Amino acid sequence: MDFLLDKEHEQIRQLVRDFADKEIAPGAAERDEKEAFDRGIFDKMASLGLTGIPWPEQYGGAGMDYLAYVLTIEELARVDASAAVVLSAHTSLAGWPIYKFGTEEQKQKYLRPMAEGKWIGAYGLTEPGSGSDAAGMRTTAVKDGNEYVLSGSKVFITNGGPAEVYVVFALTDPSKRARGVTAFILEKGMPGFSIGKHEKKMGIRSSTTVELIFDNVRVPEENRLGEEGFGFKIAMMTLDGGRNGIAAQALGIARGAYEKARAYAVERKQFGAPIADLQAIQFKLADMATKIEAARLLTYQAAWLESKGLPYGQASAMSKVFASDTAMQVTTEAVQVFGGYGFIREYEVERMMRDAKITQIYEGTNEIQRLVIARNLLNEVRG
């Protein structure tokens, strides 16, 4: 068992770290304050080949693996979780189902420009009355000749608005619930497809989160993703991989907060000595570093399993739960290390703490992930 990154992975880590420090970190606080999405950052990611890391070169990607992808998300989130979630949703949630289930024509038409960074992708599953109960959705898709007519809405859509491509789920047979869900690829600007409410959020404020509205949107049959009734499986399989991205995001947030707290502890003096000399602070830093290392190992393992084509659903659920809980714990302790200054927006740990909270919620709340993990463990015993 080798825990060392190879040369290729070290290179991508260093490339993204340098990019994040030079291009993303300087304006992160201002973008958060203004709640401003910056398309230019995504364009710069594209110029470095980051918008298609795990996709083959024949589809405009970099031809790397999912470990390279989570390393990228981690390094971005270390300085700005919003930038990380934009790329994560674009890749894991919008790109993955097209790559996995799309036809060759769909991959060339949609995945290629997404991988090249010309288009941004988004994923539409959640509805106002069916958050984690995806099978309870109400958006419908009625077949009409060689088209489907979509009616309904989706909420909490990351990248909604700027995105050009949307993977959307709707009921083609409401009587079958989960077995009646079908996936579709929608394009920005389709008649009847509009952007509704823009959410005002606690964290990740420089990424967009919006409502999608479908008012009799006519979607060509060739834009159906997979077979009719297979959409729920596509959605659930997509979320398995999406959790790897969330775990990496949480890991990056935790690392960023820990590094800020450690540096501050050495610089800040109280009673004539750095607070880093206080055992109470040393214990905090030790616990923070230990939890981050454990989260890193879980996250990298899940990404490695996905890269090898091995089952990774359980591993991704575990990594998501542990890394996101770690992010919340570490950022909270980082604010504590900073004392009163940690509560002030001038110091970045305040933003990191706000950003960390969402990692415990989206891609399936941690409570649901624990249920999934427990059921799998118990099924192993029950047979």
The set of catalytic residues is 363
| Beta strands 121-124 and 165-171, pairing class | parallel
Cα separation, 167 vs 125, whole angstroms: 8
Q: CB within 8 A of 307, min separation 6: which ones?
A: 65, 66, 67
The DSSP bridge partners found for residue 142 are 149
The span from the CA of 146 to the CA of 111, in Å, is: 23
Report d(CA 86, CA 114) in Å as an integer: 12
Q: Are strands 269-270 and 193-198 parallel, antiparallel or unpaired?
A: unpaired
56: closest CA among 129, 115, 131?
115
Here the tokens at position 186 are 């929608």
Beta bridge partners of 182: 170
Tokens encoding 47: 């110029």
**Three-state SS letters, 365-377:** CHHHHHHHHHHHH
Let me know: does 250 contact 204? Beta carbons within 8 Å: no
